[in-house]
Structure 1
Amino acid sequence: MTLAEQILASAQKSQAIIATAESCTGGMVSAAITDVPGSSAVFDRGFVTYTNAAKTDMLGVSTRTLESVGAVSEEVAREMAIGAIANSTATLSVSITGIAGPGGSDHKPEGRVCFGLATRTDVHTETKDFGALGRDSVRKAARDHALNLLLRALSPE
């Protein structure tokens, strides 16, 4: 069973509704979930907010936050996840913002990706440094990490 199939089964069992807010993955998490037949029962919508303006317009990310810490930050991931919940019928959202490459800096290197996971009452954020694996590999690693975050949230031990 794929990660997305496990997410679908767990979300159906717990009656969760999912939304995504993606930047560097460009909708890969949404695509993975909606590849599974029956996903419409648990997937409400996905926001692809590649630019700062899209993050602000679609998710309500603060321009002040973007200016002070930049798009690749846990603060922005937090606001993206909250915005996905606020602008959907979802009970659970995941957000992704990062530097897939090429490029980056000493301060924010290629392969750094920040994640947010929100419910209607709680938000968790984290940063993963996947390294300079190349754009495609970083994006896939970020997609898989986000799917795992969703599965863990839906299947608490």
Structure 2
Amino acid sequence: MKATLNQYRQSPRKVRLVINSIRGKSVERALAELKFIPKRASGTIEKLIKSAVSNAETNSGKAKENLFIKEIRVDEGVTLKRMMPMSKGRAFRINKRTSHITLELGDKQESKKTNKQESKKTTKQDKKNKDVKDLPVKSEKKPTKVVKKEKVLKKK
């Protein structure tokens, strides 16, 4: 249940502002919040989430209500380097940055099942290893004592 968007023509720094606000939320809540974020990237991320939901429904048969944003990240894409002519024959470089946005959806019901299974495994291991405890490693060096010498003022 993944969806990716490569070479999106906006800097990753600006896209991360939008992405950080929806990370870990349910799909319905994220789509509702994106409508009220006044950034250019919010519309594109909304389309990406809808694409990932469509992938989940058609390929895996998952319901939209059970999906949440498991992982979403923005990586830096190719930087287009352009020149801006300036006075006295100079030219400054303009970097037109691009972003790669990766979105992965998770199922709430599956995540609950896996958490229960992991907790059962740890309790079984704890029962087997009752007597074994991790103790901090002690160094064999003895701590050195610092002796302070007092200065005696001599009168001349």
Q: Fold-level match, TM-score > 0.5?
A: no
Rg larger for? 2
TM-score scaled to structure 1, two decimals?
Answer: 0.25
